[in-house]
Homo-oligomer: A and B are copies of this chain.
Amino acid sequence: MFIREAQIQDFDSIWPIFHEIVASGESYAFNRDISHQEARKIWMESPQKTFLIEENGTILGSYFIKANQQGGGSHVCNCGYMVSSIARGRGLATLMCEHSQNIARELGYKAMQFNFVIETNVGAVKLWHKLGFETIGILPRAFNHPKQGYVGVHVMYKWLEKA
């Protein structure tokens, strides 16, 4: 198992993971019926870099990194992570998040922000806390969960340098 930077043609292999997660409508605020083309734009074209985790030729997960704002806010990056359902529980999210923090420092970012961590995604909230992210605040009823209705959303943040 190793992490490498994704090339644009890798998206065809990332797409089944993306599609499965986004179609469920439970953890990302993207349109559930998003097209391959629009997904590729969000995951590969708009971000600064995209990485993937590969094992024996199979892609098990992916993440992107980009500046969260421009101008005076461009020292804070944003990442999004996805793990294939066939690879859950093997620590891939931890692996990717730690990798992304190193990449962020290499790219000159000073902090990382997650804009939209849905509170019903309990595993993610717990994991990001464990990895040093702080919940800055919870947006009340900011996500309409297909099964649970309006639920809160964590805004999370981690300073990557020594203060």
Contacts and interface: CB of A to CB of B under 8 A. Distances in A.
Interface stretch (A11-19, A29-37, A52-60, A91-99): A29-37
Contacts of A73: 29, 116, 142-144, 153
A83 B137 CA distance: 29
A142 B113 contact: yes
How many copies of the polypeptide does the oligomer hold? Answer: 2
B159 A72 contact: no
A24 to B, nearest CB: 10
Nearest to A110: B141
A89 interface: no
Given A31-B70, A71-B31, A155 B136 contact: yes
B75 A144 contact: yes
A30 B72 CA distance: 7
B29 A72 contact: yes
Contacts of A123: none
Contacts of A70: 29-31, 34
B76 A142 contact: yes
A141 B29 contact: no
Contacts of A159: 140-141
Nearest to A163: B141
A60 to B, nearest CB: 24
A63 interface: no
Interface of A: 22, 25-26, 28-32, 34, 69-76, 110-111, 113, 115-116, 118, 135-146, 153, 155, 157, 159
> Sorted from nearest, which 5 A-B pairs have the closest CB atoms?
A137-B137, A29-B73, A136-B137, A29-B69, A72-B144
